[in-house]
């Protein structure tokens, strides 16, 4: 399949495009440089690139979270609107762009990347948690509406995957049983497409979400996160300060 890549960093887009061409000869790529945090104004440009293309799979993967986590009262206006435009509006707007073509052809797949953070309200990641709950609800509603249309709608709810978004803690930067690399997670998640409409995409994360959804109640989960995040951030600040002192 040919790939249309959309992101805000042109250098990373070019690097990804080059890597795809090298590893998959014959696969064509096209890049669109836009910043999803800018909201409605960017979709006219995206629509221009989508027009006339047979879009078989849409992956709504763009996401934003406070790094490091913080209290809502400490978030800037740009952060608040950025979360809404990136985590919420992008999912709806991109789906609206490609869905008519999929319906006309009677086939297609829409993969919406939510988060395990939507399992319960999450202190210090309040906006992120709430916006990912939106993705979960929107995907399930859309999936019901599109029954029998030939279009698959899948919700992915990953927990910790090693990305810049999780770099606020050293523990989130090392692969472990519950912490997946991007390659490990994507390989696992893609294997679930057409088999599961709502999934963690990676079985260790599924175990975590089972515990959060079925074993612990929301209040207990909120308490654990509310205590854990300040401790994690404090420990990370001390670690960075110690490393800086050693360099001196």
Residue 145 to residue 149: CA distance in whole angstroms: 9
| Closest to 69 (Cα-Cα) out of 232, 216, 248, 235 | 232
Q: Which residues contact 131 (CB under 8 A, 6 or more apart)?
A: 83, 84, 87, 88
| Closest to 124 (Cα-Cα) out of 36, 207, 223 | 223
Write down the catalytic residue from 124, 128, 185, 202: 128
Residue 101 to residue 105: CA distance in whole angstroms: 6
Q: Cα angle vertex 152, ends 149, 118, to 5°? A: 130
Helices of type H across 84-163: 90-105, 126-145
Active site residue 202: no
Residue 82 to residue 197: CA distance in whole angstroms: 28
Residue 70 to residue 169: CA distance in whole angstroms: 13
CB 189 within 8 A of CB 204: no
| Structure tokens given for 102 | 């999929």
Residue 201 to residue 97: CA distance in whole angstroms: 25
Residue 123 to residue 222: CA distance in whole angstroms: 7
Q: Which residues are tagged catalytic? A: 128
């Amino acid at each position: 399949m040919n790939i249309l890549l959309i992101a805000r960093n042109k250098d990373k887009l070019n690097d990804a495009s080059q890597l795809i061409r090298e590893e998959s000869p014959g696969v064509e790529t096209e890049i669109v440089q836009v910043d999803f945090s800018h909201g409605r104004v960017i979709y006219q440009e995206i629509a221009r690139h989508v027009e006339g293309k047979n879009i078989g799979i849409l992956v709504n993967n763009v996401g934003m979270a406070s790094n490091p986590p913080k209290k809502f009262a400490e978030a800037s206006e740009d952060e608040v609107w950025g979360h809404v435009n990136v985590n919420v509006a992008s999912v709806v707007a991109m789906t609206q762009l490609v869905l008519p073509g999929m319906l006309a052809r009677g086939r297609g797949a829409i993969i919406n990347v939510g988060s395990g953070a939507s399992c319960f309200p999450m202190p210090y990641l309040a906006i992120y948690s709430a916006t990912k709950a939106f993705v979960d609800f929107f995907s399930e509603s859309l999936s019901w509406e599109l029954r029998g249309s030939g279009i698959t709608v899948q919700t992915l709810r990953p927990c910790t995957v090693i990305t810049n978004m999780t770099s606020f803690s050293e523990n989130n930067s090392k692969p472990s049983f519950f912490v997946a690399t991007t390659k490990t997670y994507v390989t696992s998640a893609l294997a679930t497409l057409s088999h599961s409409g709502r999934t963690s995409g990676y079985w260790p994360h599924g175990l975590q979400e089972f515990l959060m959804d079925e074993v612990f109640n929301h209040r207990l989960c909120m308490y654990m996160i509310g205590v854990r995040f300040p401790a994690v951030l404090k420990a990370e600040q001390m670690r960075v300060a110690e490393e800086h002192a050693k360099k001196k």
